[in-house]
Amino acid sequence: MKTIIAEKPSVAREIAGLVGASEKKDGYLTGNGYFVTWAFGHLIGLGMPEDYGISGFDKTALPILPNPFLLTVRKVKKNKSYAADTGALKQLKVIEQLFNRSNSIIVATDAGREGELIFRYIYEYLKCNKPFERLWISSLTEKAIKQGFHTLKDGKEFDGLYQAAQGRSRADWLVGINATQALSIAAGNGIYSLGRVQTPTLALICKRYLENKSFSVKKYWQIQLSHTKEFTDFKSLSKNRWEDKKLAEDTLKSIERNGNTATVTSVEIKTATEQPPLLFDLTGLQKEANKKLNLSAEETLNIAQSLYEKKFITYPRTGSKYIPEDVWAEIPNLVRALQDRETCKQAVSKIKWGRFNKRIVNDLRVTDHHGLLITDKIPSALNAKENSVYDMIAFRLLEALSQACIKEITDVSLQALHYDFTAKGCKVIEVGWRSIKGSFSDDDTEPVQDLPELKKGDELKIKEASVLEKKTKPPVLYTEAGLLSAMETAGKEIENEDERKALQNIGIGTPATRAAIIETLFTRNYIQREKKSLIPTEKGLQVYELVKDHKIADVAMTAEWELALQKIENNEADAKGFQKEMETYASSITNELLQTSIAQNNLPKLACPKCKSQQLIIRDKIVKCPNEVCNWVQFRNVCGVQIGITDIESLINKRKTTLIKGMKSKAGKKFDAYIVLNDKAESSFEFAKNKSYKK
């Protein structure tokens, strides 16, 4: 007998159907010489400090450097402590029995770093030594799975992948546990969660936010001229920027007095070839879905995963934008299949058969998985978001197969009086890939004008002239798409050129983990959304201020670790050396953070409004009286809104906060209200029209 272990029940059922294991049992399927079972994601993980006999946050126990690392069954929170997840224990028992009854194992967890870790941690925890083979597929279609079974690989071929996954898992533990405990002990007022990737990501958001807030916007003025030639209207703009509006207006008057004409001083025409975009990798899809559909990175990943499990697209957690040569032969079938999809029909009709662009084929640039493709199974009943994401992937394939778009760019310099002006024109010569969606510019805010034929020496009448008021723009706040780009290209933010070169193809996090990192920052209450922008909360900024000068916030260092993990994956570096380095780093960051002096005086000293005898303890989630008899408490998250320190002060001292906006009722309706305290120090809402009810 052979046991096949998948990552999820849905994938296990798919495989069971193909290998003829049709008999359902509790926790597995069987038949035709196979047991087919599944994990539920990470059933086994690294033990927590209490598994090493360290309870609470103990300064003397830091740094905690496990040797060996212990593996434990997944835990869930029960009351105030953690206990083994009963569902995980039950499934683990099933897996153990099947492994014992089998001669060998076929690993069918997701074909990537985390999928490998899920299986290996189970295998190691159960002290199993049965031989195992690896099913390595990029799609869940019947054809792909059957092909995968014909080309099963020896499990040992993936030892490098496992060591990289284990290295990542241990590094996150060493840095996360030690740094979190050290800073929380130093702070003495609540938990400050830090992490190997989450902290430099938070640093990116805070740094950009502070740059944006401290930017002083300056006004300047430019002169715009309107011209007509050969029935074509176009505009030119002064090269000069005046910081004084009156000077600009005086210049305009001088131009008008001086014949009101402009002379063409040079015309430069160049041909620009825009190659079609490559296929989406996961980060590319997440960025596009955030820009166009306003989906978060996590939402996009979940939708893509669902499309994958329904067999409509290939494996989504990919870091590649290319396909290998052997997949190229399948591409015409995929395009033909799209003719049956209403939303894609018109786009498919624009494809030039026999002239497909082969730019996406590159065996050397395919990592664990190739770029995102649709499969030949075309969906008919998806929800709106799934349809939108699917069409994004389908349209991107059609664009990638199309020819280049060729444009003629014209730069014209003009002179009016002795002031220089410029006009820019663009003419599409060959539409190429841009015909698929029919959009001719990536940035629709810059409309491109048609220019008439112009040559040096042409005199142009100025039909109209005006002074335009403009403003210098601060660095834009990160959207999720912008943050994903910054995480992907962390190396580009680095000033040292050698370091930047070394890191140019590496970022922080991996395509598979970036969404989870961003979500972690939300759950920690470190960041929040303001329209489309990501901004730090009061707590997020506080953490950033505490760690910004420490190595843990260093984007470059985290990117270097990702590089080291890649080398381990490719068997080019030693996993033990990496772990030693992480232990040394965890020790130094722990000592650094334990010495951090955290100014407690930035929190106001407030007397309890109920007993009036005790000073309130102000924490991230609650404000409470330390006297257990009094027991007065005010939660800081009210109907989905975090109440700031100034409002807490106002509530205690003036018995009323400012107007708190955007709270949500249980029915999901948004409302604005004041929080007020009555004579018994009980809080309630007060609406603008004096309606109030107890919270």
Give me the active site residues, please.
315
d(CA 664, CA 90): 39
Residues in the chain: 695
Do 211 and 392 meet the contact criterion of CB atoms below 8 Å apart?
Answer: no
Q: How far is CA 439 from the centre of its chain?
A: 26
* Of 478, 600, 582, 477, residue with least CA distance to 546: 600
Q: Which residue has the tokens 């929040």?
A: 528
Two tokens, residue 435: 């015909």
Q: At 460, which amino acid appears?
A: L
DSSP class of 61: G
- Which residue, among 558, 547, 549, 548, has the nearest Cα to 585 in the 3D structure? 558
Rounded (5°) CA angle 427-431-436: 135
**Cβ-contact 452, 234 below 8 angstroms:** yes
Helices and strands in the chain, H and E counts: 20, 29
SS3 label, residue 650: helix
The sign of the CA dihedral 365, 165, 562, 528 is positive
Question: DSSP per residue over 549-561, as a string?
Answer: TSGGG-HHHHHHH
d(CA 591, CA 654): 42
689: CB partners within 8 A, 6+ apart = none
